[in-house]
Structure 1
Amino acid sequence: MIISRKIQQFIKLRSFIRATVIVLAALMLLLGCARSKMTIGVMVPLSGDAAAYGTSVQKGVQLAMETLNVKNVEVVFEDSVCDPKQANNAATKLITIDNVVAIIGELCSSATLAAAPIAEANGVVLLSPASTSPDITDAGDFIFRDVPSDAKQGVFAANLVYNDGNTSVAILFPNEDYGKGFSGVMDEAFTSLGGTTILESFNRGETDVRSQLTKIKRANPDAIFLISNSPDAASAAIRQIKELALTAKLYGSEGLKSDAIAQTPGAEGLIISSVSAGTPDFMARHEQKFGEVPGPFSAQGYDAFESIARAIEAGAKDANGIKNELYTLSFEGVSGTIDYDENGDISGGYELFIVQNGQFVPY
């Protein structure tokens, strides 16, 4: 009887241990799944004078998430206001609190360059879909972008203006990393072609550039090239060019490509160089989902998310793995060929548009 009771106790104990092991195994499995989920941060201006660009990129990322349907990946959006200090804070929050493995952003070069040292020091990928300052090339091993550098765009713009028959150009640019980088490269390239330049700068977001335009009018250049990533500032400059009756041929950077700019008084005939707006299929899917054509850098936002998604699907388990995979990637994205070089840059290309009857059409 005593032996029987001991056997029963042993059987109960064995059953309890077995159940405990099963429960612990299930918990470990659940914890493992939780740990395998990766978070990607998206740090773009969702308020301020560049909010239209940030919203455009946000939509591109959202469309990529829906289309690619990557498992165990979540996205956290932060408003970095196209401002260096805000970008610094947003990057710190995403890395230390949200534990992201990668950040898509920022759009403005000054903000990206402010966040780059934080991402680099923490070993987190920072991939910009819009920042073009040449300085980003040397910002660090974890710093990437899927738009070409202004080291290329400035040369392209110089050739565009000069080959259109203009031997003198006034370059009007914002006094920040983006504007200084672009204008510096364009100035050097245009003068090397045999042309002459006049450089005038304005503070970011400034909406009264009559003083600069008055100086430009006195110099009487053949052309004006407006560099801006602030729709308000660009619209104001175009209106004031018309008000002051400047007759120079008007050109601009990709940041001017929007319906609001095209419909600004004085914009008729404006020619811009721009990165790709996306493939016809991408544009159709974007319009179906959001009821509008893609805005500036939406296609680049899509490709930034796809780049990180492809790195994860290739086996990357952490930020360092994502970085290593990005350097080996090569695919045809919706914005063109994505093939990061040893500096995290892509070669890219440009499209030309002209404003006709209040809208941008291919030039």
Structure 2
Amino acid sequence: MSQKNETLPLILSLLVTLLLLAGGIWWFGRNLGFGGVGIGQGGSPSTSSPGQGGGAGRISDRLSTGAQLLFPEGASSQKQAAVQALANRDYQGAIANLEASLQANRNDPEALIYLNNARIGDQNSYTIAVAVPTATSANSALEILRGVAQAQDEVNRAGGIDGVPVKVMIVNDDNSPDVTPQVADALVKDRSVLGVIGHFGSDATLAAAPVYEAGRLVMISPTSTSVQLSGAGQYIFRTVPSDRFTAAALSRHMLERLRVQRAAVFYNSQSAYSTSLKNEFTTAVFSDGGQVVGEFDLSAAGFDSVASFDQAAQQGAEVLVLAANTATLDPALQVVAINRRRLPILGGDSLYNPRVLQVGGESAVGMVVAVPWILLADPNAPFVRSSRQYWGGDVNWRTAMAYDAAIALIRAISIGKTNRAAIAESLRSNADTIEGATGVVRFLPSGDRNQAMQLVEIVPSQSQFGYSFYPVSQP
């Protein structure tokens, strides 16, 4: 009897403790901002990198015109001081510190964007946003930002749009389909934003596209190639050719230059980009008279590169096609290593990555990759010369496509001004001739860009990794 009397108070005590603990967790979450969603930039500087913990966090922490660093790693003391100054609206102090930071490191697009924004200060301006994965794919994000930063700087140096400068908001979206719709919703609701350049990966872009379409805000992706994006809406565009163009270029190279007919394709079934490229290549090569004899999922649990390669060889594969995305680059490189140059290898634009040169090494020599643009194809073009002056080195196709997206959007704003619908109509109708980094930028009714892909080959060189991508000579 006494044991029962003691058990009841213990149970009640435990329940009270759990209730207090739950209340404490709720209070901390509410007051420290976990999970909240907001618009705007906030009044205090931050050097956080939202998204590294895996959650969406506060959307306001992902948006910055200069009052917070989205690339805090390695930021100079001058750059950090500039962010503090911008948060306090001390524009002259921010300008001085950002100019000093760029003197030490001119290859920093975030600093150049913030410098142009600081020069604008509280003046009237036209705002565009650029959405990139600053925390999860920093190198790719910086490549895209260089194109946007250069376009902004050139336009503002030339007097802006009828005397009104262009301001750029940088957005960190983690390249996450869970985050991009939230980011898109925040940008749609911010009426100062007249268009968005982004997003990076096809999955992230496809997740955000319906939000932009419903909110009637232009989105131009410089890097998303999935055919699912074609015809996604009247406000959805891209400056990079779709996977259909990539597949056609690879198929022709396989059948006409390599003179082989049987391919094995390695892809990621969880990626819209990777699946799109695999499907388009299969269709193209079949139409051209070849065939795909095997498909291997790089994302499958327990993927075995040795067993997969052996199976592809047994099935009569004469060429390997790597339709990997960034997330499956490592298993794709395992296939490259196992192959040891026994079979020729073809790849999509995600393989245009320094890691392929660094890790692939000698085994990757001869690999042919389809890209929208490569500097060495026209090394004396105006954009090539100007980009070298800006960044102190050569840029890649992501920078060029982002530049084209920014120039196209800015030109459309010059026609539509603050009317979002008029901006979209200007792009759809190709109302103006837009000369970009890679030629004239014109959009098909689907929102796609009508432009062929270029093929590059990995060759030995005197570069940092001992290997480089070099244009494939035309037959």
Superposed pair shares fold, TM > 0.5: yes
Pick the aligned partner of 1:60 from 138, 142, 147: 147
Match of 1:299 in 2: 400
Following TM superposition, by how much is the alpha carbon of 1:97 offset from its aligned partner in structure 2, in angstroms?
4.3
- Corresponding position: 1:339 with 2:442: yes
Deviations 1:185-206 (A, max 9, x none): 11011122222212222239x9
Instruction: Summarize the alignment of residues 30-49 of structure 1 with structure 2, pairs less than 5 Å apart.
Output: 37-48=125-136
Does the CA-based 8 Å contact 1:277-1:297 persist in structure 2? no
AA paired with 2:369? I
Aligned partner of residue 251 in structure 1, secondary structure: strand
Q: 1:328 aligns with which of 408, 419, 429?
A: 429
Match of 2:471 in 1: 362
Q: CA deviation at 1:321?
A: 1.4
**1:295, 1:221 → 2: CA distance?**
32
Match in the other structure for 1:225: 321
Structure 2 CA distance for partners of 1:244 and 1:307, relative to 1, 3 Å: closer
Aligned to 1:22: none
Letter of the 2:323 counterpart: I
Alignment-derived partner of residue 215 in structure 1: 311
Q: Residue 166 of structure 1 aligns with which residue?
A: 260
| Residue 344 (structure 2) aligns with | 249
When normalised by structure 2's length, the TM-score is 0.64
Which amino acid counterpart does residue 59 of structure 1 have in structure 2? R
Match of 2:297 in 1: 201
Q: Distance in 2 between matches of 1:65 and 1:210?
A: 48
Q: How big is the shift at 1:91?
A: 1.4
Closer, same or farther: CA 295–211 of 1 in aligned 2, 3 Å: farther
1:63 shift after superposition: 0.8
Contact 2:298–2:331 (Cα < 8 Å) also in 1: no
CA contact (8 A) 1:316 1:325 kept: no
From the superposition, tell whether residues 208 and 109 of structure 1 become closer, same or farther in structure 2 (CA, over 3 Å): farther
Superposition RMSD in Å? 2.5
For residue 345 of structure 1, give the secondary structure of its aligned residue in structure 2. coil
Q: Who is 1:107 aligned against?
A: 200
Query: Which stretch shows the higher mean deviation, 57-66 or 311-320?
Result: 311-320
**Could you tell me how far apart the structure 2 residues matched to 1:130 and 1:124 are?**
18
- Aligned to 1:144, the other structure's residue is in SS state strand
Distance 1:129 1:208 in 2: 33
**Compared CA separation, residues 199 and 236, structure 1 to 2 (3 A):** closer
CA-CA distance at 1:208 after TM superposition: 6.8
3-state SS, counterpart of residue 193 of structure 2: coil
The answer (yes or no) to whether the contact 2:277–2:348 under 8 Å persists in 1 is no
Q: Indicate if the aligned counterparts of 1:213 and 1:241 stay in contact, CA closer than 8 A.
A: no
Asked if 1:281 corresponds to 2:375, the answer is: no
Tell me, in whole angstroms, the C-alpha distance in 1 between the residues paired with 2:212 and 2:188.
8
Q: Return 5+ residue gaps in structure 1 as ranges.
A: 1-33
State the 1:85 CA deviation: 1.0
Task: Give 2:249's match in structure 1, choosing from 156, 171, 188.
Answer: 156
Give, in angstroms, the shift of residue 361 of structure 1.
1.2
* Other-structure match for 2:332: 237
In 2, distance between residues paired with 1:228 and 1:54?
19
Q: CA offsets per residue over residues 96-152 of structure 1, 9 Å max, x none? A: 247422110012111111000000111100110011111111211000011111122
SS at the partner of 2:447? Answer: coil
- The two structures have a TM-score, normalised by structure 1, of 0.83
More strand by percentage: 1
Task: Call closer, same or farther: CA 1:195–1:165 in 2, change over 3 Å.
Answer: same
Q: 1:156 to 1:309 in 2, by over 3 A?
A: same
Residue 160 of structure 1: SS of its match in structure 2?
helix
Separation in 2, partners of 1:343, 1:256: 26
User: What is the Cα deviation at residue 209 of structure 1?
Assistant: 4.5
Aligned partners of 2:131 and 2:339: how far apart in 1? 39
Q: Aligned AA for 2:441?
A: I
Which amino acid in the other structure matches residue 311 of structure 2? K
Residues 161/313 of structure 1: CA separation in 2 closer, same or farther (3 Å cut): same
Distance 1:244 1:76 in 2: 44
SS of aligned partner of 2:260: coil
Superimposed CA distance per residue, residues 58-77 of structure 1 (whole angstroms, 9 cap, x where no aligned partner): 11110111112233321111
Aligned partner of 1:350 in structure 2 is: 453
- The one-letter code matched in structure 2 to 1:64 is A
CA distance in 1, matches of 2:356, 2:414: 40
Verify the 8 A CA contact 2:221 2:237 in the aligned structure 1. Answer: yes
Q: 2:263, 2:150 → 1: CA distance?
A: 40
Task: Quickly say closer, same or farther: Cα 1:210–1:114, change in 2 above 3 A.
Answer: farther
